[in-house]
Amino acid sequence: MSDLRPQAQDSTRRPTIRDVARDAGISKTSVSRYFGAERHRLSEAMQARIERSVERLGFRPDRIAASLRGGRTRLIGALVADIRNPYSVALIHAAERACGDAGYSLMVCNTDNDETLERRHLDVLDGYSVDGLIVNTVGRNTEALEAMRERGLPMVLVDRQIGALDCDMVGLDDLAAVGEAIDHLVAHGFERLELIIEPIAGISSRIARAEAFEAECRHRGLAGTVHEAIIDELDTPALDQRLAELITEPRPTAVLCANGVVTLAVCHALQRLGGFDQLGVLGIDELAWCALAGPGISTLAQPVDAIGRRAIETLLARIEGDAAPATIHRLPATLNVRGSTAPTA
């Protein structure tokens, strides 16, 4: 008597698009659209039916097989310098949502500001045949990035320009942001300003903010200096010493923090020094705790969500064949005024 029980391979084989279509009672074309750039063409009801079938069957698209058949992997790579940085977290969140809306998945690689690790991640992303790449790193592997660009990989830089790499860049309008910060501080009676920034080290956004600060101070005849601070931990004796010196300034003095990492370190230092009422503070980057620290920290909020989405939208346009010259997209900041920049007496 023959064994009529299902064979093991039938019960354990990988579900296919055909299986999903049969389970949902729709065409294979509709299922393909669900996993592609045309998902928006499907009604919400049909998307829900497909999603239920996908979950019920445990279906997972085979990205690598698709690329071997001459298609796309529908994978976007993201190379970030420091995933612990709140800016990076918000950026990746926005980029991932934008990818999902377009039927793509995001592969995130954190370089930890390490040149060797960055190169290894680039090799991995190359091996997975990602369809495009967004880059937010120091860019110590310029040659490797240029080689990937020359092979036709679409690429968008975020926040930082890298060497002579000819590709789109999306980031903050640093010049306008610094100008708005100084306008605010001067209007509130501060006469002595200092920009506290992490080591500039050739990083384009840091260069832009430092140069804009110096130029604005010169133009207005203000006393302004740039202080580079190494911030590896929140307990930073050198930063404490510098802030203690600024607190003793006879003129009303304020510090402009170049990013959220600096703002956090400055706030910890001022808490130790008891100097929140003796020094103005304005930070670039809006963080959840800024409204709670000290008297409330005034900030210039970067439009990180818009930056992440614009980066993905720009990259997808390149993937679809947009051959226009590379463009720099600079987005404006939003000023949030709190007690740390209250008018001086």
Does residue 1 form part of some domain? no
What is the overall mean pLDDT for the chain? 89
pLDDT reading at 2 higher than 60: no
β-strand 328-331 against 168-172: which pairing, if any? parallel
pLDDT value of position 91 = 96
Per-residue pLDDT band at 319 (split at 50, 70, 90): very high
- Select from 153, 96, 165 the least CA-distant residue to 129: 153
The dihedral over CA atoms of 49, 51, 56, 61, expressed in degrees to the nearest 10, equals 130
CATH number at residue 26: 1.10.260
- Select from 169, 265, 263, 256 the least CA-distant residue to 217: 256
**What does R_g of the chain's alpha carbons equal in angstroms?**
25
Does residue 21 form part of some domain? yes
CA–centroid distance for 112 within its chain = 14
CATH number at residue 95: 3.40.50.2300
Residue-wise over 214-252: b if at least 16 C-beta within 10 A, else e? Answer: eebbeeeebebebbebebeeeebeebbebbeebeeeeeb
135 or 17, greater pLDDT? 135
Q: How many domains does the chain have?
A: 3
Q: Are residues 233 and 325 in the same domain?
A: no
Q: What pTM was estimated for this model as a whole?
A: 0.79
Q: Are residues 154 and 235 in the same domain?
A: no
Does residue 66 form part of some domain? no
DSSP letter at 341 equals G
Contacts of 239 (CB under 8 A, 6+ apart): 196, 229, 231, 265, 266, 269
Q: Which domain holds residue 222?
A: 174-302+334-341
| Per-residue pLDDT tens over the stretch 184-214 | 999 999 999 999 999 998 899 999 999 999 9
Contacts of 48 (CB under 8 A, 6+ apart): none
Does residue 3 form part of some domain? no
